[in-house]
Amino acid sequence: MTVVEKLVKDWRKRLQTECADQNQKTLESMIDWLLGEDRDRYETMSADQLEIAEQAMDYRYRILQQRYLGVPPEAAYNRLMQRLSSLFLIRNKIRTWVALSRDRQRSVVDVLQEVIQELLQNDRYLQQQIAWITKCTSNNRLRNPLILATTEEYCLRPIRNQPLLLYRFVNYLRRIQRGGVTQVPTGDLVRVVSEELAMDETDNPINLLDAQAIAQYQESEAWEERERQRQTVKKEFAAYLEEKLGSLAAKWLELYLQGHSQEAIAQELNMPVKQMYRLREKISYHAIRIFAMKNQPELVASWLKTSLQENSLGLAQAEWQQYWENLTPTQRQLLDQMKAGKSVPEIAQDLNWKASKFWSEWSKLYLAAQTIRN
């Protein structure tokens, strides 16, 4: 039996079990999509390469099964937008650009839809995948989920530790920004500028590309620092869960970060789904209300850029203004004192509160800011 025949056999057996509500023709189309157009490549792969290819197929299948298969087209498309816009790096990048642009009423989803539409129309890889999906099936009820699953998987591919979608968004900005001789407004002067400028005071020229290179280096350094912080937060939170909720909670976190669904996690941990959901609620409570706010607030705030003093709880200027206007005078006083660096006992004493009252009010303010960010 060849490698391809074994793959087809294994996937056919798996899909017949997990997608029993689908007809055989649909299952065969899904297998064709998963294996791709070039099947000969599997025969020349090493064992390690084949293992990676199988993991990639499993990843694409889980995306399809969990979010798109059997879902109405409009709801499936909304799920794609929700998934991509939930990425912290993408969401903040788009929000920053919108805040600095002329049209500040646009939402993250509005901008993201334009980027995805441009990808589907112009990206060579996605065009090839859409053509292959068309060959795999003529059924629109299957074709649409396959395209959406392919798009999500492609957008989330890590390129230098960043999702590919981030680079496509940067390219999108470059295309829509005004620039170049073809877009010079009437009446404006055109100046051809060398990449080097000679200053009057010295014979040493200044290279205009140095600033760009430095900015790219600084951005790369900042990303690496955030990645180190993310790993630290993950390690610290896993240890916290191990201590407070037990090894089962730490195992749940590991599986969740790997992208497993709640049902798959329940099966892996050999526990009822309802019990698993209760465990998830406990972990969520501890993550936000205890670990992020009391246990390691500086570490989490530094990683997420949600420091009150430096980042205004992660809110853009317009968002912070809206947030501030909805606060009571006492809540504003609380935030002002926290910004000033006062300790919890000092603030509680100034406001004539108990410590529990402080944490209760601070939780409300923190969660309200998180709601706006999300």
Pairing of strands 205-207, 196-198: antiparallel
Residue type, 99: A
Do 302 and 230 touch, CB atoms closer than 8 A? no
Distance, C-alpha 59 to centroid of its chain: 16
Do 153 and 181 touch, CB atoms closer than 8 A? no
- Of 298, 297, 275, nearest to 288 by C-alpha is 297
- Of 15, 168, 4, 148, nearest to 79 by C-alpha is 148
- Of 113, 118, 110, 96, nearest to 172 by C-alpha is 118
Residue type, 348: A
Q: Which of the 8 DSSP states describes residue 40?
A: G
Place of tokens 């794609």: 80
For the chain, 374 residues long, give each residue's pLDDT as a single digit of tens.
788 899 999 999 989 988 888 899 999 999 999 998 888 888 888 888 888 888 889 988 999 988 898 888 889 988 888 888 777 666 676 667 666 655 555 666 777 888 888 888 888 888 899 999 999 988 888 999 999 999 988 888 877 667 888 777 777 776 665 444 444 444 444 444 444 444 444 444 444 444 455 555 556 666 667 777 778 888 888 888 888 888 888 888 888 887 778 888 888 888 888 888 888 888 888 887 788 877 777 777 776 677 777 777 888 888 888 888 888 888 888 888 888 878 888 888 888 888 888 888 888 888 888 888 76
Phi, psi of 207 (to 5 degrees): -85, 120
Phi, psi of 306 (to 5 degrees): -120, 25
Do 77 and 153 touch, CB atoms closer than 8 A? no
Distance CA 92, CA 97 (A): 9
How many C-beta atoms lie closer than 10 Å to residue 314's C-beta? 20
Residue type, 175: R
Q: How far apart are the first and last CA of the chain?
A: 51
What would you report as the CA-atom Rg of the chain, rounded to the nearest whole angstrom?
Answer: 26
Distance CA 355, CA 309 (A): 21
The residues spanned by each domain of the chain are: 3-175, 226-304, 306-374
Tell which CATH classification among 1.20.144, 3.40.1130, 1.10.10, 1.10.1760 matches the domain 306-374: 1.10.10
Place of tokens 């294994």: 10
